[in-house]
Amino acid sequence: MNRKLFLTLFAAMFVLQASFIHVEARQIDYKSEEFREVASQFACTCGCGQDHFECDPNTCSLTKSFKKDLVGMMNKGMNKDQIRDYYVKIYGEEILTSPEKSGFSLTAWVLPFVVLGGAGAGVLFIIRKWAKKKDDDEPTLDIKSEKDEVEGEILSSIIDEERKKYL
């Protein structure tokens, strides 16, 4: 019994140790999706105008070391939000490729939709206002009117063509 227990414990330790070694040795492809999620959050400051996912580590030493640090953190088990918080604490919001969704920076995200919503309400109000006056006294047109419109256009173009031929 003791021997069985010992063997089980030994096997478990071996498995755990193996997975530990595996984590340490994990290679992360700089162009993988998991790396993109983390690295594309940060703007490269070398002047390339790209983020740390896009910037080429073979021509930019800045992104080379930054990428290494990111891989190190990912291997330590930090997720993208933790890594983001870590860098924002050190460098501030300026290091991010897009503004934070809090504080004053929230206005960057919200304002376009607020303006669009307000303008949309205005447009709907105007359409209703303009349409209201005619709503009661105009007869209802149906699909036929649309068909007539196309046919009318074609007819007038044929007449125009004939007119130009003979005049």
Partner 1 sequence: MYLFSNATIYIGLAIAIYSLLVMTLGIIKKNQKLINSGKGGVIALFICAGMAMLSLFYLLATSQFKFEYVTDYTSSELPIIYKLTALWAGNAGSLLLWTFFLTLYTVMITFSRKMKGNPMVPYINSILLVNAVFFFFILGFVAKPFAILDTVPTEGKGLNPMLQNPGMIIHPVTLYLGYVGLSVPFAFAMAALIMKNMDDFWIKMTRRWTIIAWLFLSLGNIFGGQWAYVELGWGGYWAWDPVENASFMPWLTATAFLHSVMIQERKNMLKVWNISLIIISYALTLFGTFLVRSGVLTSVHAFANSNLGLYFLIFMAFAVIGALYILMSRYNLIKRSAGEFNSIVSKESSFLINNLLLVGAAFAIFWGTIFPLVSEAVRGTKVTVGTPFFNKVEAPILLSMMFIMAVCPLLAWQRSTVKNLKKNFLLPAVLAVVAMILMVVLGIQKAWAVIGYGVIALLFVTHYLEFYRGIKARRKMTGEMPLVALYRLMTKNRRRYGGYLVHLGIAFITMGIIGSQNYDLQTMKTIPLGKSIEIKDYRINYDKLDQRKEGINDIIYAKVTVFKDGKSLGTFEPQKVFYGHWDEPSSEVAIISSLKEDLYIVLSAWEDDGRATFVVKVNPMMDWLWIGSFMIVLGALFAVWNGKYQNLTPRYTGVRKEVS
Pick the closer one to partner 1 by CB: 50 or 75: 50
Using CB under 8 A as the binding rule, whether residue 142 contacts partner 1 is answered as: yes
Using CB under 8 A as the binding rule, whether residue 75 contacts partner 1 is answered as: no
Q: Radius of gyration of the chain from Cα atoms?
A: 33
Using CB under 8 A as the binding rule, whether residue 166 contacts partner 1 is answered as: no
Shortest Å, Cβ 122 to partner 1: 9
Shortest Å, Cβ 7 to partner 1: 40
- The DSSP annotation for the chain comes to -HHHHHHHHHHHHHHHHHHHHHHHT----TTSHHHHHHHTTBB--SSS--BTTTS-TTT-HHHHHHHHHHHHHHHTT--HHHHHHHHHHHH-GGGBSS--SSGGGHHHHHHHHHHHHHHHHHHHHHHHHHHHHHHTTSPPP-HHHHHHHHHHHHHHHHHHHHHHHH-
26, 20 contact by CB (below 8 A)? no
Pick the closer one to partner 1 by CB: 76 or 147: 147
Using CB under 8 A as the binding rule, whether residue 85 contacts partner 1 is answered as: no
Using CB under 8 A as the binding rule, whether residue 92 contacts partner 1 is answered as: yes
Candidate list 2, 5, 22, 104; residue touching partner 1; CB under 8 A: 104
Shortest Å, Cβ 67 to partner 1: 10
Q: How far is the C-alpha of 45 from the C-alpha of 60, rounded, in Å? A: 10
Pick the closer one to partner 1 by CB: 11 or 154: 154
33, two tokens: 């999706």
Binding site for partner 1 (CB under 8 A): 29-32, 36, 40-41, 43, 47-51, 54, 56, 58-59, 92-99, 104-105, 108-109, 111-113, 115-116, 119-120, 123, 126-128, 130-131, 133-135, 138, 140-143, 145-147, 149-151, 153-155, 157-158, 160-161, 164
